[in-house]
Amino acid sequence: MMNRLQLSPQSGTHDALTEWLAYDPKVRPGLELPKINWNAMMGLTFATVVSGSVWFGIGEMVFRYWK
């Protein structure tokens, strides 16, 4: 016997949302998406901005020298 999801016209959004968010026992515990390390992201962003600023400054100095 196959189980199929049948939504009647009378079922509300709340019922559908409750069914969608229901606990699924087939999902393995401990199987989670990796967390984002925000400190590492801020560090990489800061390093990229500093590096870009340095290269922009070098390019500006070269441009002024050739001018």
pTM attached to this predicted model:
0.48
pLDDT tens digits, the chain, 67 residues: what are they?
556 665 555 555 556 666 666 666 666 666 677 788 999 999 999 999 999 999 999 999 999 998 7
Enumerate the domain spans of the chain. Answer: 37-67
Name the token pair of 4: 């199929």
Q: What is the pLDDT of residue 55?
A: 98
Q: What is the pLDDT of residue 36?
A: 87
Q: How far is CA 35 from CA 6, 22, 31, 39, 49, in A?
A: 35, 23, 12, 12, 24
